[in-house]
Amino acid sequence: MIKRLSNRASIISPSATMSLNAKTKALIKSGKNIINMSVGEPDLRPPMSASLAGIQAIVNGQTGYTPASGLIELREAIAQYLVEKTGISYEPTQIVASAGGKQPLYNTFQVICDEGDEVILPSPYWVSYPEQIKLAGATPVIVRCDETTDFKMGPEQLAQHISGRTKAVIITSPNNPTGSVYSREELKEIGLVLKDRPGIYIICDEIYDRFVYEGEHVSLVSLFPELSDRIILTNGFSKVFAMTGWRLGYTASSLDIAEAISSFQSHATGSPSTISQIAGIAAFDSFDESMVAEYRNRRDLLLSGLNKIEGIECSVPQGAFYAFPKVSNFIGSEFQGKQISDINQFCDLLLEDQLISVVPGSAFGEPNNIRLNFAVSTELILEAIQRIRNFTEKLNFLETKSRRL
């Protein structure tokens, strides 16, 4: 039999969040009253200045190709934002604009990883990290983190997982799916572990950087400017500017890495949409600070409701817009004659019975939790809490709990 697909294609799983969102939207289209808390998408509108700039670009005929790395004006705007945020001055030549937040990461793994390399990945992790690492021929080395450390990797854990094959470490702060934010002190400890290991890159995914509800967002590069030649920042416009469908993101790195990413991208996709780039320039001056207060209020509302449901425990997310409650108490319980064997089945039954769509933690490497996006209206959050309560009250949680004891 002729082999039709490559080995590369056979090891990759589809994005769980995108697949679930597609299924959810199909149910909504069929007339189901679904509460969709699955996909990581803000419910607020992009800045009007960005939308108007995009429209004006179309009217003015600014729709041609740009350099593979993006418009110089956009890269200058990104460099200005980064110097204000991190204190590090990047030249526009060190910045590459790409199509969305995923492509900068994919590009990065492709240009730094070889077959047999290892990339240290704290878990829970964003769903595409391990797949992108594998596509680059490398191996994800998972560092399991849990509620006891607020889902954050400590310096001892990091040091234990470094080997002679370690090519990179991923630091995501604020984190998707947990909402955890690394403090200044925690980043210092991680930086000290990596400081004397010159062969290891540090990939800092900061796409939720403006959504921090307690404390502050700190970039590792601002604490260790001497590591700037090994730190690769990735960010984008999808989350904090609510520009998900505009598909615009970027990397900031040393010049050799940036040039390699630009060359790779020139053959893979070319530059991101010219219209989106022009809109992105306008967006930088239009961040809506009220979004942070609004999402903090929604977070608090959801947390209060979830933690009042017997059997559910939810730690406080300091950033992003996700709650990641632990629901493993219900694994092994029965629902309408069906035993819930794992977190995936829990989520399937929740969708089937209560028409609420959430993501199983298994998609993020954590089999005990579920992820809920709280970037939805307060009315939907209140209704979602009630629906989850309705579902869990149908489960024989107390009986299951007593059997475990």
Does residue 131 contact residue 365 with C-beta atoms inside 8 Å?
no
Residue ranges of the chain assigned to CATH 3.90.1150.10 = 7-32+289-404
Q: What is the predicted pLDDT for the residue at 402?
A: 45
Cβ contacts of 22 within 8 Å, gap of 6 or more: none
Per-residue model confidence as pLDDT tens for the chain (405 residues): 677 888 887 777 777 667 777 778 888 788 889 999 998 889 889 999 999 999 999 999 999 999 999 999 999 999 999 999 999 999 999 999 999 999 999 999 999 999 999 999 999 999 999 999 999 999 999 999 999 999 999 999 999 999 999 999 999 999 999 999 999 999 999 999 999 999 999 999 999 999 999 999 999 999 999 999 999 999 999 999 999 999 999 999 999 999 999 999 999 999 999 999 999 999 998 988 888 999 999 999 999 999 999 999 999 999 999 999 999 999 999 998 889 999 999 999 999 999 999 999 999 999 999 999 999 999 999 999 999 999 999 997 655 554 444
The half-sphere exposure of 359 on its side-chain side, counting CA atoms within 13 A, is: 32
Nearest-angstrom CA–CA distance, 302 and 297: 9
Q: Given the DSSP bridges, would you call strands 334-335 and 338-339 parallel, antiparallel or unpaired?
A: antiparallel
Nearest-angstrom CA–CA distance, 41 and 33: 19
Does residue 378 contact residue 301 with C-beta atoms inside 8 Å?
yes
Nearest-angstrom CA–CA distance, 259 and 201: 16
| Fold classified for 7-32+289-404 | Aspartate Aminotransferase, domain 1 (3.90.1150)
Does residue 231 contact residue 204 with C-beta atoms inside 8 Å?
yes
Q: What is the predicted pLDDT for the residue at 191?
A: 98
Q: What is the predicted pLDDT for the residue at 261?
A: 98
Cα–Cα–Cα angle for 186, 187, 193, nearest 5°?
Answer: 100
| Fold classified for 48-286 | Aspartate Aminotransferase; domain 2 (3.40.640)
* pLDDT tens by residue, 275-331: 999 999 999 989 888 889 999 999 999 999 999 999 999 999 999 999 999 999 999
DSSP state of 30: T
Does residue 198 contact residue 166 with C-beta atoms inside 8 Å?
no
Quote the pTM value. Answer: 0.93
Cα–Cα–Cα angle for 242, 68, 114, nearest 5°?
Answer: 95
Residue ranges of the chain assigned to CATH 3.40.640.10 = 48-286
Q: What is the predicted pLDDT for the residue at 405?
A: 44
Q: Given the DSSP bridges, would you call strands 35-36 and 356-357 parallel, antiparallel or unpaired?
A: parallel
* pLDDT tens by residue, 339-391: 999 999 999 999 999 999 999 999 999 999 999 999 999 999 999 999 999 99
- DSSP assignment of 164-220 equals TTEEEEEEESS-TTT-----HHHHHHHHHHHHT-TT-EEEEE-TTTT-BSSS----H
